[in-house]
Structure 1
Amino acid sequence: GADDAYRSFRSGELLPSVAPDTIADGLLTSLGVRNFELVRRHVDDIIRVSEEAIVRAMRLVWERMKIVVEPSAAVPVAALLDGAFEGLAGKRVGIVLSGGNVDLDHLPW
């Protein structure tokens, strides 16, 4: 996957992408020095999800909302479905759904 931000956050130092392979091509770009510093200062946690969870989330959004979202936009939905936000029970959580980078001929279902 494309988890350099996750690995960098956990290690405390900027780590490069290592042959990223993911359906979420919007996450293929490396974190970068400036963004890493912002993450270190302002982010409480970074969550990693599986490729299968991304596809399930994309399909769920399509089936329930009739919205085709790009894989990168499905990542937070996948994390939500995987229970990653249980500590936020009772709080408001916003997720941005976008579809600007969708190739309808290559949907994973």
Structure 2
Amino acid sequence: MNRAISLALIFEVVVFVLAIPGMIQVDDVPIGLAMGAGGAAALVPLLAAALLRRPVGWVFAWLAQAAGLALGLLTPWMYVVGGAFALLFVVSFVLGRRIEQSTPRS
């Protein structure tokens, strides 16, 4: 489960960084605000992916989903993108837990 969620978190980093020029060009968000918000939002899933083997990594992973949705305050299309990543994360989390519980440990 950690591998799939780590990949999703890394994709979030890429998308959040690429959202910066979109915020600037499409929605006329000031450059400093776009870079600050996009950079901070990209840092959270990066930390989550790096720390996923520890309990604090899961806290950062959930915060990354909130950060993706929060970018929608600056540019509305990030509600859709952040929501898609949050849905992917929740489905991966729930299904991963079910698989881990049903797999017998040897």
Give the structure-2-normalised TM-score.
0.28
> By percentage of residues, which structure has more helix?
2
Q: Which has the higher contact order (CA 8 A, sep 6+)?
A: 2
